Structure 1
Amino acid sequence: MKLYDTQRSGNAWKVRLMAGLLGIPVARQTLSIDRGDLARPEFLAIAPLAQVPVLELDDGSHLAESMAILYYLARPTAWWPAALADQARVLTWLAFEQERHMKPLAKLRLHLALHRNRDPQAPEMQAHAHEARQALALLEAQLQRQGATGWVATMDHPSIADVALYPYTRMAPMGGIDLEAYPGITAWLQRIEDLPGYAALFPGEPGRNLSTLEA
């Protein structure tokens, strides 16, 4: 399989993280937004949403959208729970990640760390920060409910909800969010990073997860 991504895409990181945790080899085709790669006809021909990630399967077909790719990779494994109620709980937290969690955290990271084109005190950025902290507080409360050995949506084994929520939570400090205020989250992040097959944003360099520099 081959993954079309960009170097610092949090959504593409979800897919690489899942593949690593499952021991699935995935080749990378890393594109550049600045060069206009995502607008080229050859990419648009395989990317119906005109964005990364896109996963090319062994039969030459393609899957788009990180949530769909995570499901595809995890479906025959313990990362997609067998119990129907647990599956529904996973979907709950996937919806939370997309609607309430990722958006403010991604905006803060984009404008305050990667592009540095906004004032952190601007009303727009303050609103994003407020929404991000609200989302992290909800995630913290859930992890506290689950206990020291539980995961976001499930108890005995992590799920794709943990994978989906990991990247933008890990990168929250890039947007000025101090994760020390969330002990359940910091412990959960470390447990994910301790799992066999964990994949850093920059391969083999976990210390660069918060880097703003290209490799």
Structure 2
Amino acid sequence: MKLYHFALSGHAHRAALFLSLAGVPHELINVDLAAGAHKEPDFLAINAFGEVPVLDDDGIIIADSLAILVYVARKIGPSHWLPADPAQEAEVQRWLSVAAGKIAYGACAARLITVFGARFSPDEVIGRAHATLGVIEQVLATRRWIAGTEQPSIADVALYSYIERAPEGNVALTGYPGVLAWLRQIEQLPGFIPFARTRAGLEA
């Protein structure tokens, strides 16, 4: 497998993280976003939206980080990463939707302001990030993993990157002990790879 990747992208990190956690052999191919490589015809041919990550599995092209998580989980066969039980799978899918929505327009957007100069309202996206973190903190008070599974699932992987680097977007995690404990236990999993850090926001 080849994963088209950019080190400072949380979307790309979650895909690379899962490939590593799942022990799937792969090659990381850096896409130089600063140089506009994602807008070149060769890259647009595999993802017309011009976004990373993109997975190339021997000619099968999977664009979108969450689609990659689902694809790889199915590819490796039945496992705790994507449960076969309908209720548990639905709960995993629920948190994938949170990653695509509330995290993307909260903690992720806040980080885009400080790291990439995005033009969002800081107060709005930081407020949204804290509202989402408050719910996650409540959920983690009654379960070890976010989807209520006995072992980690792709839902945990999907949420990890932007929550862990939220302080770069001026979103403090100090008031969320359950979230912090959850982050640390993900980091203890075999195959864990860290998300690249920048000196931005509260990390400056």
TM-score (norm 1): 0.86
1:127-156 deviations in Å (ceiling 9; x for gaps): 11111100111111111121xxx2000331
Distance, in Å, in 1 between the alignment partners of 2:81 and 2:174 is 28
- Post-superposition shift, 1:22? 0.7
Task: Name stretches of at least 5 consecutive residues in structure 2 with no aligned partner.
Answer: none
Q: Give, as a single letter, the amino acid of the residue that structure 2 aligns with 1:194.
A: Q
| Contact 2:31/2:38 (8 A) holds in 1 | yes
Note if 1:200 corresponds to 2:194.
Answer: yes
Report the 3-state secondary structure (helix = DSSP H, G, I; strand = E; otherwise coil) of the residue aligned with 1:190. Answer: helix
| Contact 1:49/1:64 (8 A) holds in 2 | no
2:67 aligned partner: 68
Distance, in Å, in 2 between the alignment partners of 1:82 and 1:116 is 41
2:92 aligned partner: 90
2:121 aligned partner: 124
| Contact 2:88/2:149 (8 A) holds in 1 | no
- Post-superposition shift, 1:117? 7.1
Distance, in Å, in 2 between the alignment partners of 1:139 and 1:7 is 26
Q: Give, as a single letter, the amino acid of the residue that structure 2 aligns with 1:174.
A: E
Matches within 5 A, 1:1-215: 1-57=1-57, 59-75=58-74, 76=77, 77-112=79-114, 114-115=115-116, 124-146=121-143, 150-202=144-196, 209-211=197-199
What value does the CA root-mean-square deviation take over the aligned residues? 1.6
| Deviating 4+ runs (over 2 angstroms) | 115-118, 209-212
- Post-superposition shift, 1:32? 1.4
Distance, in Å, in 1 between the alignment partners of 2:112 and 2:64 is 20
- Post-superposition shift, 1:48? 3.3
Q: Between the two proteins, what is the percent identity of the paired residues?
A: 37
Instruction: Pick which of 66-75 and 102-111 moved more.
Output: 102-111
- Post-superposition shift, 1:210? 4.5
Distance, in Å, in 1 between the alignment partners of 2:146 and 2:116 is 31
| Contact 1:78/1:159 (8 A) holds in 2 | yes
- Post-superposition shift, 1:13? 0.4
| Contact 1:48/1:64 (8 A) holds in 2 | no
Distance, in Å, in 1 between the alignment partners of 2:135 and 2:158 is 15
Distance, in Å, in 2 between the alignment partners of 1:110 and 1:173 is 12
Distance, in Å, in 2 between the alignment partners of 1:178 and 1:164 is 20
| Contact 1:90/1:161 (8 A) holds in 2 | yes
